[in-house]
Homo-oligomer: A and B are copies of this chain.
């Protein structure tokens, strides 16, 4: 269940929604590599946990908007902190990885 919140798509979705309400297709375009199926499942899960609201506009073509709830916005704080840490330390991580793999090369 922590797994749900900690997982890749959930994090990316929450980050996407950080700067405001988004439509389904916007999310799909914005989240790199997510399939329609996984985006749907992720959004359902977040909705179930009370982290996002889903608002349907019965127009043609249909329009569905997703927004972070207050609870979702509070989660967004630590999630973004984590995201920023990763971004900031990516070079460091990759360097460490190269070092490690090079050392393991003593075959």
The contact of A93 among B49, B93, B95, B101, by CB within 8 Å, is B49
Task: Identify which of A11, A78, A86, A96 gathers the most chain B CB atoms within 10 Å of its CB.
Answer: A78
Q: Is the CB of B81 within 8 A of A49?
A: no
Contacts of A47 in B (CB 8 A): 100
Q: Which of A32-78 contact B (CB under 8 A)?
A: 47-51, 71, 74-75, 77-78
Total interface residues on A, CB under 8 Å, equals: 34
**Minimum C-beta distance from A94 to chain B (A):** 9
Interface of A toward B, CB cutoff 8 Å:
1-3, 5-8, 11, 47-51, 71, 74-75, 77-79, 81-86, 89, 92-93, 95-97, 99-101
